Amino acid sequence: LFTVLDIERCDLNIKSNSSSHHTELFGEERLLVRRGEPFIIILHLKHGSEEFKQGETSFTLIVETGPLPRKESDTKVSFSLGESIVDTEWSASALNESSGNTVSVTINSSPNSPIGLYSLTLDQEGQKTNLGNFILLFNAWCPRDAVYMQSETKRQEYVLSQHGQIYKGTHKRIKGMPWNFGQFGEGILDICLKMLDENPKFVFDADKDCSARRNPVYVTRVLSAMINSNDDRGVLVGKWGEISDGVHPGEWIGSGDILRQWAERGPVRYGQCWVFASLACTVSRSLGIPCRVVTNFGSAHDSDANLLIENLYDEDGESLSNGDSIWNFHVWVDSWMARPDLGSKYDGWQASDPTPQERSDGVFCCGPASLRSIKEGELTKKYDAPFIFAEVNADVVDMVRLSNGQFVEFSGSTKSVGRFISTKAVGSDKRRDITHKYKYAEGSAEERQVYEKAQHHNKLQQRGEEPGLHLKIKLSDGMIMGSDFEVYAVLTNNHMETKTCNFLFIAKAVSYNGKLGDTCGFISDRVEVPSGEERRLSLKLEYDSYGSVITSDRLILLSAITVDNSMGLVGEALVNQPVTAEMTLLNPLPEPLHNCSFTVEGVDLTNGKPITVKIGEVDPEQEAKTSVELSPTSSGSSVLLVNFDSDNLRNIKSFINVVVMA
C-alpha cells in the first residue's frame, strides 16, 4: 500500500527558483520559470501526516495550460515521481527533508513545452490537491530549447536588458535614441500573454494555438501581427502624416505606457516603425525570446514584389506614384531561434517586422525570415524573405514615361538600398554595424550573384514554381488500343545553372487498384539542360510490347525520373600510385532496387578491363555507394566511365575527366 500525504500547504519557493531561472526581475509575487530547467517546490505536511518515504510514497503531478488542456496537444501532462528528473521531458523526483514534515519536489519541464500560464495539481490515487500556478517562459539558457543562446553576455543583453538604443536619421547622419523596453515592469508579462490570447488564431482555435506556443517561430509571427492594430484589435495604430489626435510617435520613450494603455482601452494612437519594433522587442524579451532592434538605412518598400524600386516620371519630370518607395530608415527586430522547419543552416537571427506594410498570408505581419536566407537570396524560405530581401538589397531604376505610354530607363543604382544596418552593441551603447549579416559587400561579385539568384527565385514564385528540375509528361493524340503511339517527358531546368543528369522514361502495365505489372517501354538518356531551357524524351509504345502485358483495365503507368548520381576522386591521380574513385546514386523509385552494381572503366586507369562492384539491395530514397581503387599507368588526360545497373533501374551512366600527373 502506498502512503498518502496529508498536505497543509505548498511553498512554490519563488525567491530561490527565480534566482536560478533568471526571472527575479519580474518580482516575487508568483512563480515564473524557464522551460527545460528544474525548479523546486516544498510540500508542508500536516502535523501527524504520514512521512514521505522514498519508494513507498508515490503521487502524480498534472500541469495544464490554456482553456482546453489536452494530452494530445501537450497542454496537459501527467507525470509520476521518478528516482531522478529527466531533462528532456516533464519529470519529477522528491526528497524528505530532515524535519520529516516537509517534502522537497524537483520538477523539470520539457524544453519543448508551450509557454504560458500553468496550473499545478498533485494527484494521489484520485485525491487531487491544487498546488498553485506558475508561468513558463522560453529559455535561452537551456541547450535543448529552440531559443538557446550560448553566450552569457548576449543573453544578458538580448533577454535581460531593459534599456536600448534605437537608431534613426539618414545613412550620413545616424543618431541613437534611448528606449526603455521595460519587459519586467509591473503587469507587462500579463499583457504579453493577453496579446497571445487575443490574437485571431487563438479565437479561431484555442487548442491548436496554445499547443503551437511551444514554437518561437509561431509566437514571433503572432506578435508581428498583434503589435499593429490592422486586422485585429492589436496594440498600436500606425500613422505617417499630420497628427491632430493621440500621441505623436516621436513622443514615446518606452514600451510600458503603450502596453498598459492597450490592455485598458484597446488600440493606442500612434506609432511608426521604431515604436512598433521597440514594442516587439519588449514582448519578445518578456516571453524569453532573445531579441534586438535593427535599423536599415535606405530601406526599400517593394510594393509589387519584383525586387526593384521603380521611380517613375513623366516627360515634365513630375513623379508618378506606383507604390514603391525608399525610406530614409526603417526599423524592425531580429529574434534568435532554431529553424527546424528550414534546416539547421538557417538557425540563429530571424528578422520580423510588426510595422504594417504588406499583407502576408492575408494578414499585416512579416517574418520571421532567417538572416542566412536573406543574405544568400534563398527567397523560397518562409516567412516573407522576398520582402525583407528587397528592403536591404533591391536595385533602383529611374524611368520616364514617353508620350506613347512606354517607359524608358534613364538611370539607376545598385548600391543605394540597405546601408549601415545597425543595432545596439552587446554590453554598451555603441552602434554595431550588422550589414554583413544581411548581405554581401555592396557591388561585390557575391552580392550581384545573390541578387540575380533572388530575381530568378522571385520570378519562379510569381509563376507558382519552385527552383529545381521539373518534369511533365505529355500524351499524343491517337492513343488507340492496338495502335503504336508516342508519349513525351519534358524536363525543365529552373535552376540558375546548367544541370546534367540521367533522364529515364518508363512505361509499366498497371491495374486499376495500383498493382504494377511488367514493363512495356523504357528509354534513358544523359542530358545537359541549360538554365531556363527544357529537354524532351520521346518513348514509342508499340502494341507488340504493351498488348501482351496490360490487363483488361487497359492502363499504362508512365514514370519520368531524373537520377541524381555523382562520382569523384579522393586525392590526386599520380602515375603508378593508387587513387580511389567514389560513386553514389540516389534511388528515386518508391521500391527497393535489387542486384545493384557499379561498373567502371577507363583507359590507363583500370588495367584495360572493367571493374564491377556488386552492392546488393538499395531501399527507396537511400543512396547506393561504393568506391573503387584505380591504378593509373600513364600520365595525361583520361576519362573514367561508370555504369549503374539493377533490376528496376538499368544502364545509368556517368563519367569524369581524370588528369594523371607524372
Question: Annotated binding site for Ca(2+), which residues?
Answer: 393, 395, 442, 447
CA 601 – CA 631 distance, rounded (Å)? 11
Buried/exposed 503-540: b ≥16 CB within 10 Å, e otherwise: bbbbbbbbeeeeeeeeebbeebeebebeeeeebebebe
Residue 84 exposure: Cα atoms within 13 Å on the Cβ side: 3
Helix (H) or strand (E) holding 390: helix 385-393
C-alpha cell, 450 = 545573390
Instruction: Please identify which of the residues 273, 291, 501, 520 carries the catalytic annotation.
Output: 273
The beta-strand segments (E) located in 476-547 are 485-493, 499-510, 516-529, 534-541
SS3 state of residue 185: coil
Phi and psi for 496 in degrees, rounded to 5?
-75, -25
Determine whether 273 is an active site residue. Answer: yes
Q: State the burial class of residue 296 (Cβ atoms within 10 Å of its Cβ: 0-12, 13-18, 19+).
A: buried
Nearest one of 71, 5, 74, 73 to 44, comparing CA atoms: 5
Determine whether 210 is an active site residue. Answer: no
CA 281 – CA 289 distance, rounded (Å)? 9
C-alpha cell, 15 = 525567491
Q: What secondary structure does DSSP assign to 606-639, as a single string?
A: STTS-EEEEEEEE-TT-EEEEEEEE---S-EEEE
Q: Which residue has the cell 492513343?
A: 479
Return binding residues: 393, 395, 442, 447
Q: Which residue has the cell 586525392?
A: 571
Distances (CA, A) of 605 to 565, 609, 641, 657: 21, 9, 10, 11
Nearest one of 639, 644, 647, 637 to 623, comparing CA atoms: 644
Determine whether 142 is an active site residue. Answer: no
Nearest one of 14, 2, 268 to 132, comparing CA atoms: 14
Instruction: Please identify which of the residues 74, 324, 334, 353 carries the catalytic annotation.
Output: 353
Is the CB of residue 46 less than 8 Å from the CB of residue 6?
yes
Is the CB of residue 261 less than 8 Å from the CB of residue 392?
no
The beta-strand segments (E) located in 24-115 are 31-34, 38-45, 60-65, 76-80, 91-96, 102-108
Which DSSP category does 379 fall into? T
List the catalytic residues: 273, 330, 353
